[in-house]
Amino acid sequence: MSSNNFYRTVLTVEVLSEEPIDDGLSLADIAREGAEGSFSLVVTTQATEAVSGVTMAQLLAAQGSDPGFFMLDDAGCRLDI
């Protein structure tokens, strides 16, 4: 198992705008519009929890990412490089 600390944080982003937000708009684009453009937004932390390497590998896979992002294998063990 990995001895690293991993964290899962859930955020809520509330956006106020004059028009509906396009489905394909990225979070980066929404943030840019909030900072420099026509959106008003607020980000609220809903939860933060420490998770194991095993759980992190599962969470990454569920997002369509690879556990290797944090140097883990599919079982949550540290990859030797």
pLDDT tens per residue, range 59-77: 999 999 999 999 999 999 9
Residue 50 belongs to some domain of the structure: yes
Q: Which domain holds residue 33?
A: 6-70
Q: How many domains does the chain have?
A: 1
pLDDT tens per residue, range 19-53: 999 999 999 999 999 999 999 999 999 999 999 99
**Exposed (0-12), middle (13-18) or buried (19+): which is 70, by Cβ within 10 Å?**
middle
Residue 47 belongs to some domain of the structure: yes
Quote the DSSP letter at residue 67.
G
Q: pTM for the whole thing?
A: 0.77
| Residue 53: CB atoms within 10 Å | 22
